[in-house]
Amino acid sequence: MIAGVKFCGGCNPKYDRKLFYDILKNEYKNIIYQTVNSNSNSFEYDLIIVFCGCSVCCADYKKYKTKTKYIVIKSIEEIHKIKNEINEIYNIQEKS
């Protein structure tokens, strides 16, 4: 599974986005993580994880393609919700 990763600009972060990203990478080592950028417009990721530093979530991510969904993270408190979403997507991918 390939996950696209998008970070907001970081103008007003309320939590350590890199720490959250590192937690996910350590827990889900079977996922290949790729940073999305202007060269990614034609690629379709299995999912896209968007690390927004605050509730405004100004990151421009909808232009990138995903086979399943966008997972938008706005706070560290969402870690269990995000893990549940990744588990759900991964289980669907394994059965295919």
Tell me: the pLDDT tens digits for 17-67? Answer: 999 999 999 999 999 999 998 788 789 999 999 999 998 888 989 999 999
The domain limits of the chain are 2-95
pTM score > 0.85 for this model?
Answer: yes
DSSP 3-state percent helix, strand, coil across the chain (nearest 5):
35, 25, 40
